[in-house]
């Protein structure tokens, strides 16, 4: 189901170090130049309550956090962001650019931690109010290479094993194969400018620019 609102939801997905945040900034700049109202958000986070949940989720001290608690906290952060910002923005006709969305929970908690995918989809439907991204970019990078690009202290999720991060990548690849219409895979072997041009082509098509 596509969103029924005037606005559009574009999400950016990928493993650690895939460069998606850079691409969001570039796309936001591109849309500003074209006088298209847009908004950049990140998950988990984007609003005060969800940023507080983000701290809990990424804090390396929280080694005891269970897989189920982790799944529900990501969902709780998303529910708040959807209700407080995403739905009102889409109603106004804004183009919402979101750094991660429900696909992240499917791959990190589902494929990565083994949480039941059907359960994630069911709760996901509840927290997103059935909103699906109109377009999703999956920036695909080798897990080891992506992790090596992180040049700050690693958070609780980034610290996980290479085996875990490989499962995350494989999860993304499976999702992308199943949703070719929505999810566009971009292999991160080109420079950021070339990738930006590819992103813009898809966005132009979506927005009829
Ligand atoms: P970020 O580093 O892209 O800001 O994302 C924060 C971390 O949270 C990243 O390691 C991916 C992870 N994550 C999940 O495990 N599940 C989710 O649902 C989301 C949104 C992020």
pLDDT at 16: 84
pLDDT value, residue 2: 52
User: Cα(209) to centroid of ligand 1, in Å?
Assistant: 31
> What superfamily would CATH give domain 8-207?
P-loop containing nucleotide triphosphate hydrolases (3.40.50.300)
Q: By the 8 A CB rule, do 133 and 45 touch?
A: no
pLDDT in tens, 71-116: 999 999 999 999 999 999 999 999 999 999 999 999 999 999 999 9
pLDDT at residue 191 is higher than 60: yes
Q: Which pair of structure tokens corresponds to residue 160?
A: 């996980």
- β-bridge mates for residue 136, sequence order: 11, 183
132 exposed, middle or buried (CB, 10 Å; 0-12, 13-18, 19+)? middle
- Cβ(5)–Cβ(176) below 8 Å: no
- Work out the average pLDDT over 133-147: 96
Structure confidence by residue, pLDDT tens digits, 160-172: 999 999 999 999 9
Report the SS3 class of residue 31. helix
**Is the distance from CB of 99 to CB of 41 less than 8 angstroms?**
yes
Per-residue pLDDT tens over the stretch 35-73: 999 999 999 999 999 999 999 999 999 999 999 999 999
3-class secondary structure, 96:
strand
Q: What is the mean pLDDT of residues 176-195?
A: 95
Among 76, 157, 161, say which to mutate for ligand 1: greatest number of ligand atoms within 8 Å of CB.
157
Atom of ligand 1 nearest to the CA of 74: 18
DSSP string, 102-138: HHHIIIIIIIIT---HHHHHHHHHHHHTT---SEEEE
Q: How many residues does the chain have?
A: 209
Pocket test for ligand 1, best of 16, 57, 108 (most atoms within 8 A of CB): 108
pLDDT at 197 over 80: yes
Distance 54 CA to ligand 1 centre (A): 9
Query: Could you tell me if the CB of 105 is within 6 A of ligand 1?
Result: yes
Could you tell me the distance, in angstroms and rounded to a whole number, from the CA of residue 89 to the centre of ligand 1?
22
203's tokens: 């966005």
Atom 21 of ligand 1 has which residue's CA nearest to it? Answer: 104
Q: Which is it for the CA torsion 67, 54, 20, 121, positive or negative? A: positive
> 6 and 207 in contact (C-beta within 8 Å)?
no
Cβ(7)–Cβ(89) below 8 Å: yes
Task: Assess contact for 137 and 18: CB atoms under 8 A.
Answer: no
């Amino acid at each position: 189901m596509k969103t029924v609102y005037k606005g559009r939801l574009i999400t950016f997905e990928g493993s650690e170090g895939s460069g998606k945040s850079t691409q969001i900034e570039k796309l936001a700049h591109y849309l500003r130049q074209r006088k298209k109202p847009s908004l950049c958000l990140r998950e988990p986070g984007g609003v005060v309550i969800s940023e507080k949940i983000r701290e809990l989720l990424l804090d390396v001290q929280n080694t005891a956090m269970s897989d189920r608690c982790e799944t529900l906290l990501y969902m709780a952060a998303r529910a708040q962001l959807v209700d407080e910002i995403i739905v009102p923005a889409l109603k106004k006709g804004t183009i919402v650019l979101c750094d991660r969305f429900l696909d992240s929970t499917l791959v990190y908690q589902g494929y990565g931690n083994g949480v039941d995918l059907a359960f994630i989809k069911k709760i996901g439907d509840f927290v997103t109010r059935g909103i699906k991204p109109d377009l999703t970019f999956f920036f695909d990078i080798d897990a080891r290479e992506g992790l090596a690009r992180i040049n700050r202290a690693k958070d609780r999720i980034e610290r996980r094993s290479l085996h875990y991060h490989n499962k995350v990548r494989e999860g993304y690849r499976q999702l992308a194969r199943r949703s070719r219409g929505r999810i566009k895979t971009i292999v991160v072997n080109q420079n950021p400018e070339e990738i930006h041009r590819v992103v813009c082509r898809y966005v132009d098509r979506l927005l009829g620019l």
